[in-house]
């Protein structure tokens, strides 16, 4: 039998792309080709937009309570398929089963919160804004929206947006990463077979740059939610400005974790290992540089090294494995180049993950936990996003110095402090310019009922992902002033 070719889902039908450009979808732990994904054409994107546009009016006039019921059912279906979905994600993205389960749990939480749309969408009113005149502000859906998402959370990231958009009465197109499209393929099979949204309400288009450009330029697309690297996030933001679309564009990250002298060493080391090496460092919330303050540096370094050396690296389907591979051979090379660069810049390589041998994973894209010491904030490895299991250590003398390093970095996605002092924690959260903050937490994770996104080069736009504010992104606030004579 030939390899499965991933399909598009448009207007409640599975359609084969006519594109002759196909990419391999690989298991990054074994190098095995799992399927092939088409890079859909402009006209296929247009088919999806037309279907979504045609579906809009009827869906928009469906009562919010009825719309919400689709999501109550979706939650059940995702729970019923929890293990199978997690395994698909592990196969195509390389993360451990627990990491796949974790991202699916977050996705389900988005669905749970979207079930509350009848309340979340409520407007405001005031009687007698002038004598006998009343005013109502109501929220109305706008039309077709789309999400363009990255490879590192193939389950969760589309769910940051579409359940809210569709529950608000919009129609939708998901364009997943071409590197791992199989999770969304399975989710759309579930939507098709078990949920039955009306035709055109939710569509799937697989592809790369051409599909993205077609969405960004399409006059009937009202808004775009993008998540990916800062380079592309900036392009998406600029393009949506030109074409007059709503946009929220989440970019890359360089996250600093500050360890104060009064931190609880055991808890801190455990949290930092998970933050830096979880998902093989391919999280936009991954700790990338540790700034130790004062004399905790030596004992912390010792404990960190000890814990990192003990990590089990391998195929994520093996429950004992703590860290999987990076996504592709190309990405592995990119991370290796950064390690070379760190060595060339004079950082001290304490733990070198380059030569790791994983039994049975000789064709996989593995890099072991890697730790640099004496990382100077001016070095490239301290400034750029590496997006792999590479951690730098920068010792400083004061919290002021730590905050100033964070301030000088171009990214502003996340940062964390480990301390037992409320005063230090307050000072840090007050001054450091990053949007997601952890206090004695290594990963300030996306919570469905709060907003999510960064600042500086990590985010372009104003309304962030999920949380109650996302209703503002997906609706127009119409103000109606009335006088009845």
Nearer to ligand NAD, 52 or 250 (CB): 250
* Residue 133 C-beta: closest distance to ligand NAD, Å: 44
Are residues 132 and 144 in contact, defined by beta-carbon separation less than 8 angstroms? no
For position 387 contacting ligand NAD by CB under 6 A, the verdict is yes
Q: How far is CA 66 from CA 59, 71, 167, 457, in A?
A: 10, 9, 9, 39
* Residue 281 C-beta: closest distance to ligand NAD, Å: 10
Please tell me which residue in 115, 279, 284, 434 is annotated as part of the active site.
284
Nearer to ligand NAD, 158 or 364 (CB): 158
**Residue given tokens 């939710």 in the structure block:** 202
Are residues 59 and 67 in contact, defined by beta-carbon separation less than 8 angstroms? yes
Are residues 93 and 100 in contact, defined by beta-carbon separation less than 8 angstroms? yes
3-class SS of residue 329:
helix
For position 178 contacting ligand NAD by CB under 6 A, the verdict is yes
For position 232 contacting ligand NAD by CB under 6 A, the verdict is yes
**Which tokens hold the place of 296?**
């905790």
Binding mask 186-225 for ligand NAD (x = CB under 6 A): ----------------------xx--x-------------
Binding mask 135-154 for ligand NAD (x = CB under 6 A): -------------xxxxxx-
Are residues 65 and 122 in contact, defined by beta-carbon separation less than 8 angstroms? no
For position 30 contacting ligand NAD by CB under 6 A, the verdict is no
**Which tokens hold the place of 222?**
């009202």
- Determine which residue in the list 253, 326, 393, 443 makes contact with ligand NAD, applying CB under 6 A: 253
- Determine which residue in the list 102, 228, 278, 395 makes contact with ligand NAD, applying CB under 6 A: 228
Single out the segment in contact with ligand NAD by CB under 6 A; choices: 134-142, 229-237, 400-408, 419-427.
Answer: 229-237
Are residues 60 and 169 in contact, defined by beta-carbon separation less than 8 angstroms? yes
**Which tokens hold the place of 223?**
């808004």
Catalytic: 284? yes
Looking at the DSSP bridge assignments, the partners of residue 224 are 146, 247
Are residues 440 and 270 in contact, defined by beta-carbon separation less than 8 angstroms? no
- Determine which residue in the list 177, 184, 289, 435 makes contact with ligand NAD, applying CB under 6 A: 177
**Residue given tokens 């300030």 in the structure block:** 444
Contacting positions for ligand NAD (CB under 6 A)? 148-153, 175, 177-178, 208-209, 212, 227-229, 232, 235, 250-253, 284, 385, 387, 413, 454, 458
């Amino acid at each position: 039998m030939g390899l499965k070719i991933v399909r598009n889902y448009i207007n409640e039908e599975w359609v084969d792309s006519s594109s002759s450009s196909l990419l391999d979808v690989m298991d990054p732990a074994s190098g095995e080709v799992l399927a092939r994904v088409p890079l859909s054409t402009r006209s296929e994107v247009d088919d999806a937009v037309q279907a979504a546009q045609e579906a809009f009016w009827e869906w928009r006039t469906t009562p919010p309570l009825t719309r919400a019921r689709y999501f109550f059912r979706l939650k059940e279906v995702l729970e019923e398929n929890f293990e199978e979905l997690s395994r698909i994600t592990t196969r195509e993205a390389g993360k451990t089963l627990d990491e796949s389960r974790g991202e699916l749990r977050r996705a389900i939480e988005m669905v749970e919160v979207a079930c509350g749309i009848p309340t979340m969408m409520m407007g405001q009113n005031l009687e007698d804004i002038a004598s006998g005149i009343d005013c109502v502000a109501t929220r109305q859906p706008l039309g077709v929206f789309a999400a363009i998402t990255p490879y590192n959370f193939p389950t969760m990231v589309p769910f940051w947006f579409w359940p809210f958009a569709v529950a608000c009465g919009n129609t939708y197109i998901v364009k997943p990463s071409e590197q791992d499209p199989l999770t969304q393929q399975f989710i759309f099979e579930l939507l098709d077979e078990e949920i039955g949204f009306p035709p055109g309400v939710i569509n799937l288009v697989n592809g790369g740059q051409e599909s993205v450009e077609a969405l960004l330029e399409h006059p009937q697309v009202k808004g775009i939610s993008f998540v990916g690297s800062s380079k592309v996030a900036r392009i998406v933001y600029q393009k949506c400005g030109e074409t007059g679309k709503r946009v929220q564009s989440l970019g890359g990250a360089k996250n600093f974790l500050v360890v104060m002298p009064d931190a609880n060493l055991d808890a801190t080391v455990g949290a930092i290992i998970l933050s830096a090496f979880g998902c093989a460092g391919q999280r936009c919330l991954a700790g990338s540089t540790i700034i130790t303050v004062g004399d905790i540096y030596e004992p912390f370094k010792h404990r960190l090294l000890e814990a990192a050396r003990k990590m089990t690296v391998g195929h994520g389907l093996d429950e004992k494995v703590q860290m999987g591979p990076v996504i592709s051979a190309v990405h592995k090379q990119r991370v290796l180049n950064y390690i070379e660069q760190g060595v060339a810049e004079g950082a001290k390589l304490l733990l070198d993950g380059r030569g790791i041998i994983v039994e049975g994973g000789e064709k996989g894209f593995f890099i072991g936990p890697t730790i640099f010491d004496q990382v100077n904030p001016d070095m490239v490895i301290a400034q750029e996003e590496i997006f792999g299991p590479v951690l730098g250590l920068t010792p400083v003398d004061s919290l002021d110095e730590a905050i100033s390093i964070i301030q000088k970095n171009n990214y502003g996605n996340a940062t964390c402090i480990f301390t037992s002092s409320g005063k230090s924690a307050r000072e840090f959260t007050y001054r450091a310019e990053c949007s997601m903050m952890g206090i004695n937490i290594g990963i300030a994770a996306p919570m469905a009922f709060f907003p999510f996104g960064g600042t500086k080069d990590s985010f372009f736009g104003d309304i962030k992902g999920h949380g109650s504010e996302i209703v503002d992104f997906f609706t127009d606030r119409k103000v109606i002033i009335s006088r009845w004579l």
